[in-house]
Structure 1
Amino acid sequence: MFFTSKRLIERAEGLELLKEILKDKNKSVVIHYSCESFVTTHGRTPRVTSICMRYLGTAQTKSFSIHLQAQFDGKDFNNLTLADYDALEKKMLDEFYEFAKKHKDFKWIHWNMRDSNYGFEAIANRYRILGGQAFDIDEDRKYDFPRVLGKIYTYGYEKNKPDGRLLNLAKRNDITTVDALKGKEEADAFDNKKYLELHKSTLRKVDIVDSIIDRVDKNELKVASKPKH
């Protein structure tokens, strides 16, 4: 009885969070980013390679990336020095934080961007390392969508293997994963300077999160576990 009551409360919390996100879609944005592998940095904060945002209301996408910045600056992104990388990453993050300031009143929906390894804090730390002054997005405007799903459907809503919860959930729901790289593939793409592939993967993942949100809203999302009412 206690478990059922607790479950009902948790599900209600998840549905309320979803309601907040969808209350004004024109003031909500989905964010995802790609970065250097955590494993090969030897404790150094991973370099950010691309950041993509998708407006929930219009489905328009805004993106920033090292490879785009290199083209803007007339650089050959296949032959960048470490100083070039730093300068281009700094410019990319300059633009991202300008975007963040202009959208400070938006709701920011993300997928596991929670800590200093991977998340808003990791991006901010990279920017500070490069000499920038990060703009802090209010915590109450950040929505970790896996947490919302966990509250609504229980945390067994999807398995982590073989491709991670996001891609597994997309495949379960026939949402295209074309161009979306797995974690190891993203790390390899960075090491092999395949920045365009990383950028396309990031774009695809904001599209996937957007599609998942839409299916939850329509009560059409297929999950591994059935919601307990």
Structure 2
Amino acid sequence: MASTEIRVQILRQAFERSESIIAVHYASGNLFKSKDSPVPVTCVSVTVLSDNSTSAFSLSDIDGQDLEQRETELLRRFFQFLSDQQDAKLVHWNMDKADYGFSALANRYRWLSGEDPHYRPSADRLFDLDQLLTDTFGEGYVPHPKLPSLAALNKIGQRYWITGKEEADRAENGDYAAIQRSTSEKSRAIAELFREFASGSIVTERSAGSVDFAGAKADAVRVVLEIADRMLYVERSLRSRHGDRDTLTVKDEYDVQDLLRSLLVLFFDDVREETWSPENAGASSRIDFTLPDYKMAIEVKKSRDSMTAKTVGEELIADSHKYAKHPDISHLVCIVIDHEGRLKNPRGLEKDLSKNSTTEGIAVTVRIVDR
């Protein structure tokens, strides 16, 4: 199997060339109740990226009294679809398990019909989007459960979504239409998330799209964090000017904002100041900067004697709830300049604040610059 970097490159090239790419998702019965047979399948949904069309192979669309015969026909139609699309690359979400995935589907069909599926895609055509994102951005790129969390951060609707347990419960009650709606919407979401990933604009807790700079691509969030980490060196360099000319001296939060803005424009074409978030409880709050091309807000704070881990955490949680209501912001980057080292355990505090401040619809990244 090729490395993640190579597989991502293969997928992105296929996407750019408009090659056949299909998102696949399915619903099954209760994993814990199937003790002597493979888990039953209630619906398989596929979304073709080229035209965003979605097809469902569902028990709700197959007539008959015998449930196993209907399920056999469902799976036969699905494998026939794959056989007709043998050139396609298949993007999925964790469908690589023995009890949930392409192998499980094949085993269930074999158990029902006594025959092997007409066609099974080879491993090099299967791409687990969750694994690609994990390898690219790290294990904690979004909170669990990852698929709905990632969809929320990327403003993808979840109107008909029900959980896997709920799908199994609906199956026991024969509500296959609800399962079909849920599965189809999830396959469309996987397709859309893949588009965002392939184009370099997916939002996670650690990313907000790619910046083109000097012929290369860099993640926008990482660029902002790198700028913040190097601000002290720029500040020191500015102190020494030819002929002792006037210069910027960083004394307070406004000076920090001025310096950060000057550095941001090196990488970002559109840097906006003093944007106002929607009103919250009758009051509006100023966002220091926004990068509209990346749906990113940047909040800058400078540590002070009265600032503690508790107070900065309270401020961030309040900020994240307000910014989550902003239709054009999906990622908040909070930079706390603490060159004096007032805040204790900065790395642990960053992790805790990012986790506790992230809310539905907005990712929060915190960087405490203490060196």
Common fold: TM-score over 0.5? yes
Give the C-alpha shift of residue 17 in structure 1.
Answer: 4.5
1:143 aligns with 2:136: no
Q: 1:159 aligns with which of 139, 143, 148?
A: 143
3-state SS, counterpart of residue 61 of structure 1: strand
Q: 2:160 aligns with which of 179, 187, 195?
A: 179
Give the C-alpha shift of residue 21 in structure 1.
Answer: 4.5
What 5-or-longer segments of structure 1 have no aligned partner?
A: 1-9
- Give the aligned partner of residue 109 of structure 1: 91
- Give the aligned partner of residue 89 of structure 1: 71
TM-score, length-scaled by structure 2: 0.52
What 5-or-longer segments of structure 2 have no aligned partner?
A: 208-218, 224-371
Tell me if structure 1 keeps the 8 A contact 2:22–2:191.
no
- Structure showing greater radius of gyration is 2
- Closer, same or farther in 2 for the Cα pair 1:24/1:33, shift >3 Å? farther
Counterpart amino acid of 1:187? A
Q: 2:50 aligns with which of 31, 54, 57?
A: 57
Give the C-alpha shift of residue 119 in structure 1.
Answer: 0.2
- Closer, same or farther in 2 for the Cα pair 1:159/1:39, shift >3 Å? same
Give the C-alpha shift of residue 24 in structure 1.
Answer: 3.7
3-state SS, counterpart of residue 47 of structure 2: strand
Greater share of residues in helix: 1
Counterpart amino acid of 1:60? S
Counterpart amino acid of 1:90? T
> Partners in 2 of 1:102 and 1:220 — Cα distance?
31
1:222 aligns with 2:203: yes
Q: 1:209 aligns with which of 190, 202, 207?
A: 190
Counterpart amino acid of 1:220? S
Tell me if structure 2 keeps the 8 A contact 1:158–1:165.
yes
User: After superposition, what is the alpha-carbon deviation per residue over 1:19-56, rounded to whole angstroms, capped at 9, x for unaligned?
Assistant: 24414434111111111010222253111111111111
Greater share of residues in strand: 2
Tell me if structure 2 keeps the 8 A contact 1:15–1:152.
no
3-state SS, counterpart of residue 195 of structure 2: helix
Question: Identity percentage over the alignment?
Answer: 25
> Partners in 2 of 1:16 and 1:148 — Cα distance?
11
- Give the aligned partner of residue 116 of structure 2: 133
Tell me if structure 1 keeps the 8 A contact 2:27–2:164.
no
- Give the aligned partner of residue 4 of structure 1: none
Tell me if structure 2 keeps the 8 A contact 1:107–1:143.
yes
Give the C-alpha shift of residue 225 in structure 1.
Answer: 2.8
> Partners in 1 of 2:10 and 2:135 — Cα distance?
9
User: After superposition, what is the alpha-carbon deviation per residue over 1:113-164, rounded to whole angstroms, capped at 9, x for unaligned?
Assistant: 002210000000010001232122111011111111112222211111xxx2
Greater CA drift, 196-205 or 151-160: 151-160
TM-score, length-scaled by structure 1: 0.82
Counterpart amino acid of 1:112? N
State the number of aligned residues: 206
Give the C-alpha shift of residue 13 in structure 1.
Answer: 4.4
3-state SS, counterpart of residue 130 of structure 1: helix
Tell me if structure 1 keeps the 8 A contact 2:59–2:176.
yes
1:42 aligns with 2:24: no
- Closer, same or farther in 2 for the Cα pair 1:13/1:189, shift >3 Å? same
Give the C-alpha shift of residue 219 in structure 1.
Answer: 2.7
